[in-house]
């Protein structure tokens, strides 16, 4: 693993400090969850998790801070169809996902062909590509064995 959770958290907290905004306990705790979670948690997941330590924390605070952290460029929003959004604080930039339709597992593949595809689109459409969303859905190796 090239970047550790600790490093991600430090980078987030540092960016926050530099921004001049306040480092509240709730805000830092949300950053910690985002930096550590490999599960692409939803706002609700984060809220539930933090209620242990901050019994009175409100969902509004979680949403507001996720929004802030996104705007600092330190979290990436994954909008999977149907359900609400999920967030990735470990790779805070657009990247492809592969989602298992049976167990819900999400993996982040490295795709050599992504560069080619972007080029192909630019050539064919004349668009200047800024970002993307690229999700594949199927059955993971474990679920393929089960059935």
Footprint of a copy of itself on this chain (CB under 8 A)?
77, 79, 81-82, 85, 98, 100-101, 107, 109-114, 116-118, 120-121, 124-141, 144
Q: State the Cα–Cα distance between residues 16 and 57, nearest whole angstrom.
A: 20
Phi and psi at 65, nearest 5°, equal -75, -35
Q: Which is nearer to DNA, 54 or 94 (CB)?
A: 54
Q: Which is nearer to DNA, 25 or 73 (CB)?
A: 25
CB of 35 to DNA, least distance (A): 16
- Helix, coil or strand: residue 76: strand
CB of 20 to DNA, least distance (A): 7
Q: Which is nearer to DNA, 25 or 138 (CB)?
A: 25
Q: How would you label 125-142 residue by residue, b for 16+ Cβ within 10 Å and e otherwise?
A: eeeeeeeeeeeeeeebee
């Amino acid at each position: 693993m090239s970047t550790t959770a600790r490093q991600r958290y430090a980078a987030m907290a540092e960016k926050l400090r530099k921004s001049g905004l306040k480092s509240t306990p709730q805000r830092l705790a949300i950053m910690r969850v985002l930096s550590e979670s490999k599960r692409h948690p939803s706002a609700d997941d984060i809220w539930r998790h933090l209620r242990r330590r901050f019994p009175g924390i409100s969902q509004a605070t979680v949403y507001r801070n996720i929004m802030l952290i996104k705007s600092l460029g330190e979290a990436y929003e994954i909008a999977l169809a149907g359900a609400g959004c999920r967030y990735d604080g470990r790779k805070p930039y657009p990247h492809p996902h592969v989602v298992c339709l049976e167990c819900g597992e999400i993996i982040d593949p490295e795709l050599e062909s992504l560069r080619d595809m972007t080029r192909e689109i630019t050539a064919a459409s004349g668009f200047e590509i800024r970002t993307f969303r690229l999700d594949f859905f199927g059955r993971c190796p474990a679920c393929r064995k089960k059935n």
